[in-house]
Structure 1
Amino acid sequence: MTSIEHLNPIKAPKEIVYQALISQEGLGKVWTPKLSVRPEVGAINEFDFDEGYITKMKVLELSENERVLWECVDSDEEWIGTKISFELIEKDGITDVVLKHYDWRELTDFYRFCNYHWAMFLKRLKDYCEGK
């Protein structure tokens, strides 16, 4: 199994970053505006990227201001069963976001495509949380 990992420093308190990652407003600004999100463990969050299917993420963990963990339960075949975590580490007013998208079955062109797009997601998250 392989994984995607990124580290992105954001000049904002981890409380702001955490809210962006669990809220309809935040995820709507940084991922897709077509979504249905509930910030509770067990919820199935839905994201529509206009690709002919809805990506569904089950919320496995919400450790307030520390960590968010999802499991993909429906999406592109390569995503189903993968997990996505966001770990937040704050020091001196900077919050490091460690994104991990893991349990990929193999390294494919779609994996490479997603790796790039996770970096773009983190750039939008940074801009949103820093008020840009």
Structure 2
Amino acid sequence: MYTIYHDFTINVSKETIFEAISTPEGLNNWWTLRCSGAPALNEKYNLYFAEEYNWFAVISKFVANEAIEFKMTHAMAEWMPTSFGFKLEELKPNQTYVQFYHENWNEVSQEFRIASYCWANLLRQMKHYLEDGIITPFEQRN
């Protein structure tokens, strides 16, 4: 199995980041077009990007303000049975180290490579959203 990793620092509190990665409103501001779910262990999330990308996941790990993991339950074939998540470590007030991973890929396929690139761009956009209040319109995200 293969894993995508991205580690970076965001200059806000881990509580602020956790809200952006665990709540539907937070996810809609940098990733999904429309999202529903509740931030708690075993909760089901609908991750909607377009009609053909109407995906679902379950929260498989949850430690408030420290870690969250989403296990895909319905998505395109190559995303099954992957999980993605975040680990947060506050380095000092308003500076948080973020460890992102997307694991259990069956192979380093074209979709794996595209997903890695897209995650890097989306995570950069999340950083701009959290640090500068910039929300990239959904149509311009990649």
TM-score between both structures, scaled by the size of structure 1: 0.94
Aligned position for 2:71: 71
Structure 2 letter corresponding to 1:4: I
What's 1:101 paired with? 102
2: CA distance between counterparts of 1:80 and 1:46?
A: 15
SS at match of 2:79: coil
Partner-residue secondary structure (3-state), 2:39: coil
Q: Name 1:41's counterpart in structure 2.
A: 41
CA distances 1:101-122 after superposition (whole Å, capped 9, x unpaired): 0110001001100001111121
Q: Does 1:125 align with 2:126?
A: yes
Post-superposition offset of 1:31: 0.5
Note the C-alpha offset of 1:87. Answer: 0.4
Moved segments of 4+, more than 4 Å: none
1:57 matched to 2:57? The reply is: yes
Q: 1:51 to 1:117 in 2, by over 3 A?
A: farther
Query: Identity, % of aligned pairs?
Result: 30
State how far apart, in whole Å, the 2-side matches of 1:21 and 1:104 are: 21
Q: Displacement of 1:51 after TM fit?
A: 5.3
Does residue 21 in structure 1 map to residue 21 in structure 2? yes
Q: CA deviation at 1:19?
A: 0.8
Aligned residue pair count: 132
Matched with 1:5 is: 5
Greater shift after overlay, 47-56 or 62-71?
47-56
Larger relative contact order, structure 1 or 2 (CA cutoff 8 Å, min sep 6): 1
- Gap regions ≥5 residues in structure 1: none
Distance 1:8 1:122 in 2: 9
Per-residue CA deviation, residues 62-94 of structure 1 (Å, 9 max, x unaligned), is 101110011111101011111111000111231
Mapped partners of 1:25, 1:6: distance in 2: 23
- 1:33 deviates by 2.5
Per the TM alignment, residue 53 of structure 1 is displaced from its structure 2 partner at its CA by 3.6
In structure 2, the residue matched to 1:81 is 81
Match for residue 138 of structure 2? none
Displacement of 1:38: 1.3
